[in-house]
C-alpha cells in the first residue's frame, strides 16, 4: 500500500524506531478506523492500532492489516508499555497533534522523541481516485439536499428552521454527519461570515447566505450560495454579487497546476480590492478539503502551498459590509494534470426565490 510504504520511508529518514499517529483524521486515513478515539504506532515491521473497550468490536471490523490492541490506561502510559514491548527507543510524533502536556509526560517516561511535521498531511494533500469519488458523492449529497430545501426558502421562515431542515435533508441523503453547523444568514446578518442561525425570519428582498457541507465515508464537501428573496432589493446588493462572482471566476481561472496558492488568492482579492471592498474581504480565498473540512492546501495571502495535480480545495471569496449585508460564493475544485475541474455543479448566478 502506497500510504504505509511512504510512512516506512519516513521511519528511516527520521531515524526513529516508530511513528506515533494521534491526529484522528490521520488515524482514519491510514487505518480505516471511523471511531473518535484511537491511535497508531507504526514500526518498520508492525503497524499497531490502539483503542479502548468502547471501540473493540468496531475496530475488529474496520481496521485490517494492523495489530489491534485494546487498552484501558491513558495514552502516555500505554505508549510507555508498547515502547518497552516493541523495543521502540526513539519515537516520532505528530507535532501539531500532541499537546505540550502529553509531550512532557512522554519525556518523563524516558521515551526519546522526535517531532514530525506534515508527515501524513503531505500524503493527504494529494487525493486518490477513491478519495475523489467520496468527495464527489459528498458534494452530490449536499447539492441534492439544497435542491430539496429550495421550496422551503420563503418569506416568514426563520434562519434556524432552514438550518434544521437542511441538516435533516443532508442526513436523509446519506450523510453520517455534517462537517459543521449549517450557516443560514439573512439580510443584515449575511455580513457575518460565520453567522449562527437565529430566529430571524426571512423578509421580502433579503439576501440569504447558506454555507453547508455533505459527507461520504468520512470525506466532506463545503459550499456556499447566496440567494435573493423576491421583492425589491438594493442595487448595491446585486453589485456585490456580481463582484464576488467575478472574483471567484478569476480565482478559478488562476487555479492551475503549478500556480502558487497565494496567487490564486490574489486573483480574487486584487479584483475585490480594485472595486473598493478590500477591507470587506478578510478571510482566505479557500482551503483544502477531505477527511477534515479544513486541511491543506491553504489558499490565502500567507500560504506557501502550490496547486498540484490531485489537490482538492474550495474557492470562496466574499464581501461583507457591516450594517448592510454580504455575499459569498463557494465551490470545490480538483486540480487535474492539465487544468482544473469544478466539482460543484449548482449554478453560481444569482437565484431569486
Tell me the closest approach of the beta carbon of residue 196 to its own copies, in angstroms.
6
- State how far the Cα of 313 lies from the Cα of 297, in Å rounded to an integer: 7
- State how far the Cα of 272 lies from the Cα of 339, in Å rounded to an integer: 24
Using the minimum distance from each CB to its own copies, give the nearer residue, 107 or 234: 107
Tell me the closest approach of the beta carbon of residue 58 to its own copies, in angstroms.
6
Tell me the closest approach of the beta carbon of residue 129 to its own copies, in angstroms.
25
Tell me the closest approach of the beta carbon of residue 64 to its own copies, in angstroms.
18
**Cα-based angle 324, 328, 243 (whole degrees, multiple of 5):** 80
Using the minimum distance from each CB to its own copies, give the nearer residue, 167 or 249: 167
Using the minimum distance from each CB to its own copies, give the nearer residue, 153 or 185: 185
SS3 of residue 142 by DSSP: helix
Using the minimum distance from each CB to its own copies, give the nearer residue, 41 or 319: 319
Strand order in the sheet with 112-116: 67-71, 47-52, 39-43, 18-21, 90-94, 112-116
Using the minimum distance from each CB to its own copies, give the nearer residue, 262 or 343: 262
Tell me the closest approach of the beta carbon of residue 38 to its own copies, in angstroms.
11
ω into residue 297 within 30 of 0, thus cis? Answer: yes
- State how far the Cα of 328 lies from the Cα of 3, in Å rounded to an integer: 36
- 129 neighbors 106 (Cβ within 8 angstroms): no
Cell numbers given for 305: 502551498
- State how far the Cα of 116 lies from the Cα of 123, in Å rounded to an integer: 14
Using the minimum distance from each CB to its own copies, give the nearer residue, 97 or 137: 97
Nearest CA to 279 out of 317, 319, 324 is that of 319
Q: Which residues bind its own copies (CB under 8 A)?
A: 34-36, 52-58, 70, 72-74, 93, 95-101, 103-104, 115, 117, 160, 163-164, 167-168, 171-172, 176-177, 181, 191-196, 282-283, 302, 322
Tell me the closest approach of the beta carbon of residue 251 to its own copies, in angstroms.
18
Amino acid at each position: 500500500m502506497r500510504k504505509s510504504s511512504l510512512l516506512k520511508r519516513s521511519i528511516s529518514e527520521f531515524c526513529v524506531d516508530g511513528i506515533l499517529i494521534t491526529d484522528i483524521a490521520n488515524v482514519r486515513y491510514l487505518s480505516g478506523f471511523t471511531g473518535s478515539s484511537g491511535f497508531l504506532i507504526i514500526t518498520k515491521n508492525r503497524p499497531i492500532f490502539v483503542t479502548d473497550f468502547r471501540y473493540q468490536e468496531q475496530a475488529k471490523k474496520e481496521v485490517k492489516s494492523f495489530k489491534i490492541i485494546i487498552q484501558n490506561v491513558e495514552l502516555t502510559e500505554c505508549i510507555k508499555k508498547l515502547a518497552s514491548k516493541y523495543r521502540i527507543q526513539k519515537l516520532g510524533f505528530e507535532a501539531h497533534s500532541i499537546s505540550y502536556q502529553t509531550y512532557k509526560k512522554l519525556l518523563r517516561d524516558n521515551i526519546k522523541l522526535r517531532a514530525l511535521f506534515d508527515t501524513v498531511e503531505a500524503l493527504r494533500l494529494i487525493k486518490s481516485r477513491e478519495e475523489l469519488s467520496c468527495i464527489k458523492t459528498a458534494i452530490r449529497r449536499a447539492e441534492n439536499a439544497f435542491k430539496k430545501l429550495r421550496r422551503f426558502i420563503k418569506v416568514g421562515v426563520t434562519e434556524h428552521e432552514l438550518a434544521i431542515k437542511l441538516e435533516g435533508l443532508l442526513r436523509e441523503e446519506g450523510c453520517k454527519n455534517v462537517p459543521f453547523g449549517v450557516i443560514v444568514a439573512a439580510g443584515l446578518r449575511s455580513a457575518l461570515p460565520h453567522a449562527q442561525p437565529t430566529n430571524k425570519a426571512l423578509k421580502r428582498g433579503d439576501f440569504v447566505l447558506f454555507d453547508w457541507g455533505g459527507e461520504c465515508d468520512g470525506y466532506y464537501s463545503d459550499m456556499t450560495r447566496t440567494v435573493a428573496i423576491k421583492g425589491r432589493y438594493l442595487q448595491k446588493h446585486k453589485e456585490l454579487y456580481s463582484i464576488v462572482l467575478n472574483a471567484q471566476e478569476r480565482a478559478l481561472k488562476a487555479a492551475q497546476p503549478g500556480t502558487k496558492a497565494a496567487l490564486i488568492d490574489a486573483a480574487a482579492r486584487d479584483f475585490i480590492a480594485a472595486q473598493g471592498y478590500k477591507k470587506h474581504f478578510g478571510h482566505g480565498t479557500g482551503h483544502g478539503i477531505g477527511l477534515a473540512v479544513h486541511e491543506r492546501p491553504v489558499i490565502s495571502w500567507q500560504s506557501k502551498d502550490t496547486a498540484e495535480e490531485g489537490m482538492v480545495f474550495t474557492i470562496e471569496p466574499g464581501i461583507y459590509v457591516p450594517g448592510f449585508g454580504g455575499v459569498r460564493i463557494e465551490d470545490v475544485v480538483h486540480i487535474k494534470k492539465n487544468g482544473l475541474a469544478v466539482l460543484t455543479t449548482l449554478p453560481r448566478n444569482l437565484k431569486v426565490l
